[in-house]
Amino acid sequence: MPSLFEEDVVLEELQLAAALEAGSHQNAEASSYFPALPELATAGDRYLRTLERLKAQATVPVIASLNATSSGAWIRYAPLLESAGADAIELNLYHLAADPSLTAEDVEARDVTVVSDVCASISVPVAVKLSPYYSAMANLARRVIAAGAAGLVLFNRFYQPDLDVETRDVLARVDLSRSSDLRLPLRWIALLRPQLDAGVSLAATSGIHDGSDVVKALMVGADVAMLTSALLAHGPQHLCTVEAELRSWLDAHEYESVSQLRGSVSHATAEDPAAFERANYVATLRSWAPK
């Protein structure tokens, strides 16, 4: 499911409080204008109801996603999502380390604590969606798994603001991913797959658009290939196209299952493991040629 954002819940609560209090400072009787209201459904309530409906109808596991900013919200909503029927929960860690008083260790320790607290509060598996901007990704991945996460989702896309040069407004604009965006998740999944226990799931996200992209994700060791931009561009029926392309490739290359393919080009199994590290930098620069 899409993420439940703490900001949406808080904004609705603040808007409701402001509406009910409007004018109360002008007349002592203003507080009696409105009768007692029944409990109103917030964004969180609607999300939980949607989850319950999906779970009642779906024949596949339903994974809820939580994107919060405060420790209280993480602990509050994770058990509610589990109670509503979520088979697993994705923790979407999305924030900028813009406070100069916080060190890299401060930021990473805070995120690891969130993972630990949420995992301790529920019994369903937890997958943690990370950004690629941590200072020591491999170390953080191990710490997140040690804190209780059953898997990692790599990576969160940080949508960058744009500017209107005439009005000087800061604009929010979404650009759909391209297949080239898959290269960053490919590199890190290839590096992490041999470093993490076999039972740890790795999901590739950003840049999955067709069957060949799924093949690449499987090759480096991903257990899951996630796609959103392709579905937004081509509709949900595009899933059938991607699956058909994947099956066609497996048949053409005489693979009986994805298990045979998975991890065949990870850092541990690639003919040139250095290609995933610094050696790739020089080779990439030299690969360009004018047309």
Domain boundaries, the chain: 3-286
Q: How far apart are CA 194 and CA 186, in angstroms?
A: 13
The amino acid at 41: A
CB–CB of 130/94 below 8 Å? no
What pLDDT sits at residue 74?
A: 86
How does strand 201-205 pair with strand 224-226? parallel
Q: What does the pLDDT profile of the chain (291 residues) look like in tens digits?
A: 999 988 777 666 555 555 555 555 555 555 555 555 556 678 889 999 999 999 999 999 999 999 987 778 888 899 999 999 999 999 998 878 888 999 999 999 999 999 999 999 999 999 999 999 899 999 999 999 999 999 999 999 887 888 988 999 998 888 899 999 999 999 999 999 999 998 999 999 999 999 999 999 999 999 999 999 999 999 999 999 999 999 999 999 999 999 999 998 887 777 777 677 765 667 777 777 887
- Measured CA distances, 171 to 61, 95, 144, 167 (Å): 36, 18, 33, 10
What pLDDT sits at residue 89?
A: 97
Token pair 């209280």: residue: 72
What pLDDT sits at residue 265?
A: 85
What pLDDT sits at residue 1?
A: 94
Strand (E) or helix (H) holding 113: helix 104-121
What pLDDT sits at residue 23?
A: 54
What is the b/e burial string over 139-166, where b = at least 16 CB atoms within 10 angstroms of the residue's CB? ebbbbbbebbbbbbbbbbbeeeeeeeee
The amino acid at 3: S
CB–CB of 1/54 below 8 Å? yes
What pLDDT sits at residue 22?
A: 56
DSSP-derived secondary structure for 183-242: HHHHHHHHHHGGGS-TTSEEEEESS--SHHHHHHHHHHT-SEEE-SHHHHHH-TTHHHHH
- Residue 22 three-state SS: coil
Which residues face 127 on adjacent strands?
Answer: 90, 151
CB count in 10 Å sphere of residue 114 = 21
Q: pLDDT digits over 92-128, tens only?
A: 988 788 889 999 999 999 999 999 999 999 999 999 9
What pLDDT sits at residue 6?
A: 84
Domain 3-286 is of which CATH architecture? Alpha-Beta Barrel (3.20)
What pLDDT sits at residue 94?
A: 82
